[in-house]
Structure 1
Amino acid sequence: MTARPPLAALALAAALHAPSARAAGEAPLTRLPYTPGLDPAAMDRAADPCVDFYAFACGGWLAKNPIPPDESRWGVYGKLAHENRQLLWGLLEEAARPGPSRGDAARQAGDYFAACMDEGAVERAGAAPLEAELRQVRALRSKRSLAALLGRLQPSLGDELAFDLSSEQDMKDATRVLAVLSAGGLGLPDRDYYLKDDARSEEIRARYASYLEGLLRLAGEPPEAARAGARTALRLETALARAALSRVDKRDPYRVYHRLGLGQLQALTPSFDWRAYLAAAGAPRLRVFNVTEPAFFLELEARLAEEPLEAWRTYLVARLADARAPYLSRPFQEAHFAFHGAFLEGVKEDRARWKKCVAWVDRDLGEALGQLFVARAFAPAVKAQVEDLTRRVERAMARRIAESPWMTPATQRAALAKLALLRNKIGYPARWRDYRRLRLDRGDFFGNVARTGRFETARQLAKVGRPVDREAWDMTAPTVNAYYNPQLNDMNFPAGVLLPPLWDPSLDLAPGYGNTGGTIGHELTHAFDDEGRQFDGRGNLRGWWTPEDAAEFERRTACLVEQFGRYPAVDEVKVNSRLTVGEDVADLGGTTLAYLAWQEATRGQPLAPRDGLTPAQRFFVGNAQWACENETDEAKRVHAVTDAHSPPRWRVNGLFANMPEFREAFACRAGQPMAPEHVCRVW
């Protein structure tokens, strides 16, 4: 392995030992900067809103906000996320200073951050932290022993090695938590990268093989063995990818629900000792599983039977080196960034260390960090405002269902019953997660990453057989995002997505209802999109639609599939609208609901133009400006395959072209691009 010169390593250690290291031009924040919820300077008023509304709402922003060299995409959401990270940086520097005043949350988050920021210690360790895992792989003496080895390694790695063991709410019994076995073990972003035969896909696979070869050499393999090993690892990954479901297929919950007992699982893969695996993974009592992709595990069985032991050793070394590279010394980090960041995503520079460390604290100790963020950045008044907004959006949905011209009374009643059971979580959890049993060491960053991985796996598996925790969150409080969970039938809006410019209480209601109201409506509509509609109000997977209504729903969503499938994602690549249809339905339904909620909230109030825009125009500009974003062509190609959302331009133009409220607000003439003759409408 290439080592850094001792003098350089000592200088690096001296500069970065304390977690107060600064990246050039950046500094931690003590408070978040203000950006207005509707920014007139972000607009391009020379653009015709009836021809290209995205350019009209975002043209100024796109021109003034080039992609930073360490990003593949840069938008309004990304900028707010960056500012949140800068605030978290400041909070973590405070938390990293030992002292009796630190609470548990500050101590845990601060100690993890301090260890992460100690780059000198990371460099001095070199590849040594990986060696303990590699020794276990190289000591493997039979394929029968592979199960126990994976059971020891996987809990700290998730789905990086062949497959993943975790837990989930049972789709057919929403009161119960079930163990789940899902496909994994791939180093490329999606199974399609292994299967397509176009020139770009072949180039990616060739570069990936070179990357794996470099990793194997860093892990101690001789050059010839590393070259052959890279081909072996790629061959195994390709076989697993071929047996995995596509992202479109996985949108159908029935395709990923296969409840098997331990005996059935063992019969499916007789060469894999599941009892040994479960014992090594710390879950010997598990007896029932949702095996999401049985065909994948059949292929795993075939590979176990046909591939020699050495091929499995090589595959595991390559996957371990790839998964662990970001947490190791500079040569590993540089190799990982050169392929995953620079080549695949078009990123020009690796991220500063503080950004990585903040992100890893948020991932591994997110609810400890979230407590610090909420105390500093999230006012109680905002929670109350968003709760009121959410109720108004829900009332709008109730009216849409009750007045639906295409739903029969039986389905309407069932839909309204589901809506009545919907729960809202706003800002942060009612009960913060307890990390006190997790051991953290300020001098062992790699070990902290591994231990937090094992802690999370143990936490997930401990849920099996217990009542479902309906207060749990899947996102942390600082996250600039939101989600709907169909099995819990709840909407979740972290504090990070409820700050200016997304929710700006200092402005009139139009931009905020357009933006945050649209987000709330979007998540609510997911309860009735192509996936969410298949779950009832208690979270059970069952058919509650009449056949006639289900057929009409499919016809209406097919309109969006056809519309968005015409749009370019990048160059010759079109939007995969069969993948994005759920998000497209949610965008259209959500903005419609938000508009109705805004009308209700302002009924009887005098509304005046501002910034040269009527109130209705401010609603639509406020809605669109969340989507202002620049992105590298390389990243666009990745997201065309992996992202269930349409590109930002089409999440604005494709959406508003279907809304008569929009064309009325901007007096668009019939036949203009934003006022087509034929429109789609689901909700």
Structure 2
Amino acid sequence: MSATPTELERQLSIQPSSQQDLQRGPQSETHHQTLQPEAQLSESNTEQQQQQQAKLLCIRLQKLLLLFGGFSLCVALLGLIYYKFPNQSRSSNQTGAEAPCLSSACQLASARLSMSVDPFQEPCDYFLFACESDRLSPGREGSQRGHPQNHSGNSERSGQSKERKNRGKLPDRKTALLQYLRDILESNYTSRSSAVQKAKQFYASCLDTGAIASAGVEPFISLINNQLGGWAALGQWNQTDFNYTLSLLMRDYATFPFFNLYVGKDPKEAARGTTKRYIQIDQPDLLIPFEWNSKAQKSQARTQTLRPFLETCKRYLALLGAPPSTSMLHVAMFVSLSSELAVAAAPLQHRMSKGQLYQRMTIRELQVQAPAIDWLFCLQAAFHPLALLEDDLVFVHNLPYIVQMSPIIEKWLNKHELNSSGPLQTFMVLNLLYTLMQALDSRFSETANNLSAALGNTDRVAPRWRYCVLETEKGFDSVLTHLLSQRMAHQEADEMIQNIFSSFKSKLHELKWTDEKSLHSVMEKVQSLKPRLWTTNEISGEAELDLLFSKVSLSSHSFFSNYVQLLSLWQKRRRKVLTEQNEAADIFSAAPLVTGNELVFPLGMFVPPLFHPTYPRAMNYGATGFLLAKDILHLLLPDIYSQSETVHAVGECVWARYLTVAERRRRGGAFPLSAAQKQEVWVQYSALQIALQAYYLSLKSHPGDTSVSGLSLTHLFLRSFSQVNCDFDPYDEVMPLESSFLITVICAKSHLCPSSLQCPSKTTQHSLLTC
């Protein structure tokens, strides 16, 4: 059966001749020994020979047909296996058989792979190290980090293994997107679009910290004196009207000292598919540190932080050139007023429990509740040129705060002994300073960072480029969306979305549901959704962008003036959102969302190094495909644990495998998983399965794939997954084990993996169970 058809034909053509000689051998000898003179006998012998030859030929043809039929059957069976399991056998058994990807993106990907640890080379160490924090204890506080062997004195070796494993890791999705936008903004490519040039110019001026330092505080002081009527702390104040100054801050500088202002939907209407948006009024982001006293049911300034906060405020005034003789008075007024407002504030959880969110009322009704603010005047200024009326609806998210804020403002307005000092003006100016701080020299931001450290915040300061990309997006979001869309591999991204969603729906049918009603409810919801890439039709081309930003005039040497223009653009963006009916594409969104009957995926989810059109699809599906599947499961099945028996069983099974490999049972460190933890284990395990199945779907539609570093396709898929499993999301805290460990579970139930993942010193028969 291993011979080719040509070889078989040749063998069969030779066989009759040899067999004829064997059959004719004895007759030939008789012919030579005794001559037969009779012609009749000769003719009789000839007929017999012809009959024998015909009989032999018939036998040979039967054998040929049988052989050909067997060969055809084998070919058919091989073809069936090929199409039934298109790439399981090929991708797992062939190493380096695929054509290599030679693009520059693949070369960078190959370099990252060479830096990272291959889980199939070091399975015993690789899977048991957490990304950033210990995942092996019920509460992470106070627990030792890393591998269980840390408890037996091998912390140095485990630390080295963890560091080696994390080398070559891909960034989280938000960082990947920011880095990609940074590359676009810093590229040498010169666009003919003036809007694109302005976006790049704004970004460049933000990075020019030398020019910012040279400008010093003069731009800020000039703005205070020329636009806001001065400030008594600096020696001159025109005693401007409180509401007028507040309206200017809201309109031109996106600064909201006494309350927060944004635009959003009514959740009750949104549930019915309504797209109308309303003005939302919330408590402010107060600068003073405060904490919630659950016993007294109110907030209070943190006593231990008052001194460093006071010193920080004094430092701000000193940097602005305020004389020491007056600065202490203004700092004291600012701290005192901030403390009073803080007492009225409450954390989100408390407001939710008290039903204080989304309280609907008209602007007229709000005016009655908090008369110190001229609400219609201020809101009209903030949303100019929109025509707002007293009967327009707004939503308040902490009415008790708004009600208490009003008499506090009136009290400080009526303190005659402080009238010339302008305590409310001081409060508003320092809030504006905080808004514009990053546009001033680094001494201000360093002062703010020192306070943050004194308050116990250990977060590292973000690099300047990251801040500048985020600020550029505030005003030039449509420009960045356009640039991102131009470089987006729309077809490849959309194909992945469709394959992932199709595999997700298949996964739902595999679950054991508590009842048919649950399955029907979920499937009805899922079937009604249309997944698609989230793009925007708002801007059709660069000509429209140029017109939109035609009145924006930027300076190459003054980031402060550029930033002031950006704040004005940002506020105009708020106004537009209030009147828009369609959901504007948010390029910084890193997860899908449901809008109406559509499941939309933001452009920013499909950027290098997580996704690239020239990558092997194995890499794209192993990384981005897994993340998409995980997002869909979280979004559409938030409470799947209570509806499916499978979630509980899979979570327990995976956890049992993990405990066995980690040897936690014998060390007395095992603990039961909560429902949320079991669900998250199932979500991530299922997401990996969905992504792998979706990859096979893509290979059915477009057979063949390239490879990187000579890896087989499934090996490359799993390596790609292992590089991004530390991606941070809101569910990271409930994942009780290292996500890469799921590779061992996948490999235990199939022949896909290139090599064994067993640890001889740790693995028992129990760990071979499939989940």
Superposition TM-score tier, normalisation by shorter sequence: 0.5 to 0.7
Change (3 A) 1:603 1:372: closer
Matching residue's letter, 1:292: H
Change (3 A) 1:492 1:296: farther
1:129 and 2:195 matched: no
- Using the TM superposition, give the Cα deviation of residue 453 of structure 1 relative to its aligned residue in structure 2, in angstroms: 2.3
Match of 1:450 among 554, 561, 564: 564
Whether the aligned pair in 2 keeps the contact of 1:269 and 1:297 (CA below 8 Å) is yes
Change (3 A) 1:428 1:253: farther
What is aligned with 1:184?
A: 284
What is aligned with 1:569?
A: none
Whether the aligned pair in 1 keeps the contact of 2:289 and 2:305 (CA below 8 Å) is no
Whether the aligned pair in 2 keeps the contact of 1:503 and 1:515 (CA below 8 Å) is yes
Deviations 1:160-203 (A, max 9, x none): 52333232233233232222223332337997799999xxx876
Match of 2:573 among 450, 459, 462: 459
Deviations 1:440-486 (A, max 9, x none): 3326532332332232323322443x45214x21225xxxx622334
Match of 1:243 among 346, 350, 354: 346
1:39 and 2:140 matched: no
What is aligned with 2:379?
A: 278
SS of match in other structure, 2:108:
coil
What is aligned with 1:473?
A: 585
What is aligned with 2:443?
A: 331
Match of 1:498 among 599, 602, 606: 606
Whether the aligned pair in 1 keeps the contact of 2:246 and 2:378 (CA below 8 Å) is yes
Distance 2:690 2:373 in 1: 51
SS of match in other structure, 2:623:
helix
- Using the TM superposition, give the Cα deviation of residue 83 of structure 1 relative to its aligned residue in structure 2, in angstroms: 4.5
1:51 and 2:131 matched: no
Whether the aligned pair in 2 keeps the contact of 1:272 and 1:301 (CA below 8 Å) is yes
Change (3 A) 1:455 1:363: closer
Distance 1:66 1:209 in 2: 43
Matching residue's letter, 1:235: S
Match of 1:646 among 725, 732, 737: 732
Whether the aligned pair in 2 keeps the contact of 1:258 and 1:291 (CA below 8 Å) is yes
What is aligned with 1:318?
A: 430
Matching residue's letter, 1:368: V
Whether the aligned pair in 2 keeps the contact of 1:34 and 1:500 (CA below 8 Å) is no
Give percent identity, aligned residues only. Answer: 16
Change (3 A) 1:108 1:224: same
Structure 1 or 2: larger helix share? 2
What is aligned with 1:483?
A: 591
Distance 1:674 1:260 in 2: 65
1:106 and 2:196 matched: yes
What is aligned with 2:554?
A: 441
**Unpaired segments ≥5 residues, structure 1:** 1-30, 68-72, 96-100, 534-548, 564-576, 630-638
Distance 1:463 1:483 in 2: 20
Matching residue's letter, 1:383: H
1:365 and 2:476 matched: yes
Deviations 1:337-368 (A, max 9, x none): 4445898665777745x654444323321331
SS of match in other structure, 1:43:
coil
Distance 2:407 2:647 in 1: 42
1:292 and 2:397 matched: yes
Deviations 1:252-307 (A, max 9, x none): 99874332222332333233321222233235515111223334434434543565
Distance 2:698 2:480 in 1: 35
What is aligned with 1:593?
A: 690
Distance 2:284 2:645 in 1: 31
- Using the TM superposition, give the Cα deviation of residue 215 of structure 1 relative to its aligned residue in structure 2, in angstroms: 1.7
Alignment of 1:381-420 (within 5 A): 382-406=489-513, 408-420=515-527
Whether the aligned pair in 1 keeps the contact of 2:255 and 2:435 (CA below 8 Å) is no
Please report the RMSD computed on the Cα atoms of aligned residues, expressed in angstroms.
Answer: 5.4
SS of match in other structure, 1:260:
strand
Distance 2:341 2:457 in 1: 21
Change (3 A) 1:359 1:168: closer
1:626 and 2:731 matched: no
- Using the TM superposition, give the Cα deviation of residue 94 of structure 1 relative to its aligned residue in structure 2, in angstroms: 5.3
Whether the aligned pair in 2 keeps the contact of 1:393 and 1:520 (CA below 8 Å) is yes
Matching residue's letter, 1:362: E
Deviations 1:582-621 (A, max 9, x none): 9999756644532442354457989999979886665444
Match of 1:84 among 149, 165, 180: 180
Aligned length: 573
Match of 2:246 among 123, 129, 150: 150
- Using the TM superposition, give the Cα deviation of residue 230 of structure 1 relative to its aligned residue in structure 2, in angstroms: 5.6
Match of 1:169 among 254, 265, 275: 265
What is aligned with 2:328?
A: 224
Distance 1:553 1:659 in 2: 24
Match of 1:527 among 621, 631, 635: 635
Q: Tell me the TM-score normalised to structure 2 length.
A: 0.60
- Using the TM superposition, give the Cα deviation of residue 317 of structure 1 relative to its aligned residue in structure 2, in angstroms: 2.8
Distance 1:202 1:612 in 2: 61
SS of match in other structure, 2:562:
helix
Change (3 A) 1:409 1:78: closer
Change (3 A) 1:553 1:399: same
Distance 1:88 1:189 in 2: 38
Matching residue's letter, 2:567: G
Change (3 A) 1:418 1:232: same
What is aligned with 1:633?
A: none
- Using the TM superposition, give the Cα deviation of residue 528 of structure 1 relative to its aligned residue in structure 2, in angstroms: 2.0
SS of match in other structure, 1:172:
helix
SS of match in other structure, 1:180:
strand
- Using the TM superposition, give the Cα deviation of residue 370 of structure 1 relative to its aligned residue in structure 2, in angstroms: 4.0
Change (3 A) 1:66 1:515: closer
Deviations 1:502-526 (A, max 9, x none): 1255555444222111221233234
Change (3 A) 1:508 1:123: closer
Whether the aligned pair in 2 keeps the contact of 1:424 and 1:490 (CA below 8 Å) is yes
What is aligned with 1:512?
A: 620
SS of match in other structure, 1:426:
strand
Change (3 A) 1:194 1:510: farther
Distance 1:50 1:601 in 2: 28
- Using the TM superposition, give the Cα deviation of residue 36 of structure 1 relative to its aligned residue in structure 2, in angstroms: 1.8
Deviations 1:603-660 (A, max 9, x none): 798999997988666544422312458xxxxxxxxx9xxx83536x958626966995
**Unpaired segments ≥5 residues, structure 2:** 1-103, 132-145, 148-157, 232-236, 416-421, 656-673, 751-755
What is aligned with 2:358?
A: 257
Alignment of 1:594-609 (within 5 A): 594-601=691-698
Matching residue's letter, 1:35: L
Distance 1:254 1:404 in 2: 37
Change (3 A) 1:402 1:52: same
Deviations 1:53-72 (A, max 9, x none): 758999879449899xxxxx
Distance 1:61 1:441 in 2: 47
SS of match in other structure, 1:527:
helix
Deviations 1:2-47 (A, max 9, x none): xxxxxxxxxxxxxxxxxxxxxxxxxxxxx97953287253116544
Change (3 A) 1:103 1:597: same
Matching residue's letter, 2:695: W
Q: Tell me the TM-score normalised to structure 1 length.
A: 0.67
- Using the TM superposition, give the Cα deviation of residue 393 of structure 1 relative to its aligned residue in structure 2, in angstroms: 1.5
What is aligned with 1:7?
A: none
